[in-house]
Amino acid sequence: MKGNEYYRFYECCRIVKGVNRTIIYDLQRSNFYYIPNPVIEIFINYLNKSIDSLFYDYSSQKEELEKYFNYLLTNELIFVTNNPEPFSSMGLELERPHKLDFIFIEIDDLQDFKIDFLKKSVDKTGVDEIIIINSTNSIENFNMVLNLLSYSRVKLVTFISLFHDNLVKPVMELKTKHERLKKIVFIKSPLEYAENGSKDNKTSYFTNSLKDLLTRGIEKMEDFVMNKNSYLESLNYNLYYNRRIYINNIGKVKPSYIQKEYYGNIEYENINDIVLKDGFRDLWKVTKDKIEICRDCEFRYMCPDNRIPVKKKNIYYHKSLCNYDPYTNLWKN
């Protein structure tokens, strides 16, 4: 290295410190990298100093620091520059002019008011994804919903259905006809289906109930969501509860499946008016930084944890423990 060279972290690489270790989120490539807290603190403190001064001042730890420096450089988390001035930083605001991101809706019955809602109101919410829930042994209603949404702005449709032998083939055929249909989940599936899995990664078989599926917590690393939008959202909002609603079969609306209180009914009220009611959005801005234990976790900005935060004075907490412990860095399972 030359004496006047400096290093900088790429703007898409965000440093998130946990109580025991740090993770560098690579938002561009949806990946992350571990690094010890004492090491990252040194690298942060020397961002405005030359690389030579770093290794000179820490000559007794030079071998270890060189190892991590090369680790960061090889994984393209940092780059070397002759310019000591800071580069422009990434904006941390996530612009969302629309009101909702996710709508869960039960369609065992497809009443006129529900058809009207799907035809006229869904696009006004700006929602990106609709999760359709079916407990019957027919896909007639689901097919109708897909047709109703064929000219909407909805980007993704997920279909959750009670497993029936006679449904699997026709649902798969619908997937080839409708581009928006990106994910299919069968609940209460036979064990052999769940064990054998699916030929594609868009279909899954879940042996338990709808309640088990929609209340399932973070169980493993694969449950985390890693991308720029989710990171920016989690800085200011709750990554699970923000901008989602649940509509039951008779049109009653609540913030999520897990929550008990209903705030209105789409048969009689405008969905935007329901969302604006006192209390409906209370959990939207409860970030992980406001929740005990979670605020010490290195995964906090990629975690769509669905446990309901409970307020205690000026802080929130969870009544149940997470499957991951940030103080030991171990998973329960």
Averaged pLDDT, 179-189: 92
Buried b (16+ CB within 10 A) or exposed e, 72-84: beeeebbeeeeee
Whether the CB-CB separation of 244 and 103 falls below 8 Å is answered with yes
- What are the boundaries of each domain within the chain? 6-81, 102-275, 288-331
Averaged pLDDT, 278-285: 96
Q: How many helices (H) and strands (E) does the chain have?
A: 11, 17
Averaged pLDDT, 33-45: 97
Q: What is the pLDDT of residues 233-271, one digit of tens each?
A: 999 999 999 999 999 999 999 999 999 999 999 999 999
Euclidean distance between CA atoms 275 and 266, whole angstroms? 11
- Judge whether residue 19 has pLDDT over 80: yes
The upper half-sphere exposure of residue 261, i.e. CA atoms within 13 Å in the direction of its Cβ, equals 10
Q: What's the pTM value of the predicted model, to 2 decimals?
A: 0.90
CA distances for 300 relative to 83, 107, 132, 278, angstroms? 33, 34, 29, 27
Euclidean distance between CA atoms 139 and 78, whole angstroms? 51
Stated length of the chain = 333
Q: Which CATH superfamily is domain 102-275 in?
A: Aldolase class I (3.20.20.70)
- Judge whether residue 164 has pLDDT over 60: yes
